Amino acid sequence: MSEPIRVLVTGAAGQIAYSLLYSIGNGSVFGKDQPIVLVLLDITPMMGVLDGVLMELQDCALPLLKDVIATDKEEVAFKDLDVAVLVGSMPRREGMERKDLLKANVKIFKSQGAALDKYAKKSVKVIVVGNPANTNCLTASKSAPSIPKENFSCLTRLDHNRAKSQIALKLGVTADDVKNVIIWGNHSSTQYPDVNHAKVKLHGKEVGVYEALKDDSWLKGDFITTVQQRGAAVIKARKLSSAMSAAKAIADHIRDIWFGTPEGEFVSMGVISDGNSYGIPDDLLYSFPVVIKNKTWKFVEGLPINDFSREKMDITAKELAEEKETAFEFLSSA
């Protein structure tokens, strides 16, 4: 057995965490021979609920869980971390302006970034899930100057998985037969799900998705809006936001950071845009196609971008630049 790693999940009393914690504890994220010290952070009013989650984790009798710590204190939660999964954020309430939402979250992620900077290992991998995820991730990174900015990523894997599954459903194949879809930009309704470079396995051979589907108007229309608005559709149906699928996407995202991406495949994640070759301004936290090896991501380079894609990629970059500007006004005063 290896040395235990310390993994923090914030918003640990919430519904995404409730779907996620078992996957982390049973070895399906970090491997079946990796012991874990699991740290659960939530706000003080949630500590009663968190105690129930702690009891359930104990009752799962998971051999890899060396210890489970439930806390409402950042100095306890962020100590010596190997991985931080920042799920907790201020949810959007009815009648709330996006600006108010950004302001409330800047406060949270500034504080958590500072705690990472002060208490966590410098090699910590930080995955931000709480929305607005891209800007929250940038805020945390800016507040943790001693941790490399490449160590911060935000979740767009749920959108990536949604895109994959829409293509698979349309073609009557399994999601596993579809690879290299891309989510560009913000984890918001301006995101651009791009299948120009995606491949699908049909009758034993790989073909491009456009070629396989022969339905360009769907791919440029309903497909994109379905993926962009899927989160809202789930809320409308369940009266709750996506939890099972979000937890599955988080597990996929972290597993790929930990073990790398399969040969010939790339995945989408929100990362710092510095040095990209796709004309996206530096210093944005933007979702790109990446490959991962030795726990380090690299941009997938050299993909041809057509005019349709260019326009969509720029729209979502513009939204992120505006969000960043608003957040940073609050950041200096927070």
Residue 334 pLDDT level (bands cut at 50, 70, 90) = low
What pLDDT digit, counting tens, does each position of 247-256 carry? 999 999 999 9
Q: How far apart are CA 172 and CA 148, in angstroms?
A: 43
Is residue 123 helix, strand or coil? coil
DSSP 178-226: EE--EEEB-SSTT-EEE-TT-EEEETTEEEEHHHHH--HHHHHTHHHHH
Asked whether the beta carbons of 108 and 90 are under 8 A apart, the reply is: yes
What pLDDT digit, counting tens, does each position of 57-116 carry? 999 999 999 999 999 999 999 999 999 999 999 987 777 787 888 999 999 999 999 999
User: Which residue shows structure tokens 């930009």?
Assistant: 185
Per DSSP bridges, beta strands 65-71 and 83-86 are unpaired
The reported pLDDT for the residue numbered 265 is: 98
Active site residues: 187
In the chain, the domains with their CATH numbers are 5-154 (3.40.50.720), 156-321 (3.90.110.10)
Q: How far apart are CA 134 and CA 102, in angstroms?
A: 11
Q: Would you say residue 28 has pLDDT above 80?
A: yes
Mean pLDDT across 276-288: 98
Mean pLDDT across 297-310: 98
And the tokens for 299? 């941009």
The reported pLDDT for the residue numbered 120 is: 98
The reported pLDDT for the residue numbered 124 is: 98
What pLDDT digit, counting tens, does each position of 310-322 carry? 999 999 999 999 9
The binding site for NAD(+) consists of 42, 105, 129-131
The binding site for substrate consists of 92, 98, 131, 162
What pLDDT digit, counting tens, does each position of 97-111 carry? 878 889 999 999 999
